Amino acid sequence: MIPAFIVFAYLLLVLYIGIFAFRRGRAGSAEEYFLAGRSLGPAVFLLSLFGTNMTAFTILGSAGHAFANGIVTFSLMASASAFVIPLTLFFIGTRLWALGKRHGFMTPVQMFRDRWECGHIGTVIFVVQAALLVPYIIIGVMGGGTALRGISGGFVPFWLGGAIVAIVVMSYVFFGGMRGTAFVNTFQTVLFLTFGAIALVVIGRGMGGFPAAMESLLGSPSTASLLTRERISPWYYFSYTFIPLSTIAFPHIAIFCLTAKRMVQFKRTVIVYPICLLAIWLPCVFLGVAANSLRDVPKIEQKLEARAAMAALPPTASPEERAALRRQAAGDDVVLVMLERFAPLWLAGILGAGIMAAVMASDSQILALSTMFTEDVFTFYGGTARFGESVQIQTGRLFVVLLTILAYVIALRAPQGIFDLAVQYAFSGYSALSPLLVAALFWRRSTKWGALAVTLWVAFAVTYTSQVPGALAWYGLLPVVPMTLISCGLMVVVSLVTPPPSAATVGRYL
Q: Which domains are seen in the chain, by residue range? A: 2-22+33-414 (1.20.1730.10)
Q: What is the pLDDT of residues 245-280, one digit of tens each?
A: 999 999 989 999 999 999 999 998 899 999 988 888
DSSP 180-224: HHHHHHHHHHHHHHHHHHHHHHHHHHHTT-HHHHHHHHHHSTTTG
Q: What is the pLDDT of residues 142-178, one digit of tens each?
A: 877 887 887 777 888 888 888 888 888 888 888 888 8
Instruction: Give the model's pLDDT for residue 28.
Output: 60
Instruction: Give the model's pLDDT for residue 164.
Output: 86
Instruction: Give the model's pLDDT for residue 351.
Output: 72
Q: How far apart (Å, rounded) are the C-alpha atoms in residues 93 and 89?
A: 4
More confident residue, 150 or 451: 451
Q: How far apart (Å, rounded) are the C-alpha atoms in residues 139 and 159?
A: 13
Instruction: Give the model's pLDDT for residue 91.
Output: 94
Closest among 184, 138, 191 to 349, alpha carbons compared: 191
Task: Let me know if 359 is exposed, middle or buried by CB neighbors in 10 A (0-12, 13-18, 19+).
Answer: buried
Taking residue 50's Cβ as centre, other Cβ atoms within 10 Å add up to 23
Q: What is the mean pLDDT of residues 208-221?
A: 86
Instruction: Give the model's pLDDT for residue 471.
Output: 80
Closest among 367, 163, 404 to 254, alpha carbons compared: 367
Q: What is the pLDDT of residues 371-393, one digit of tens each?
A: 999 999 999 999 888 888 888 88
Residues 6+ apart with CB under 8 A from 109: 122, 123, 125, 126, 129, 372, 375, 376
Q: What is the mean pLDDT of residues 100-115?
A: 94
Listed range (85-89, 135-139, 288-292, 451-455) with the worst mean pLDDT: 135-139
Instruction: Give the model's pLDDT for residue 441.
Output: 95
List the Cα angle 247/11/177 in 5-degree steps: 50
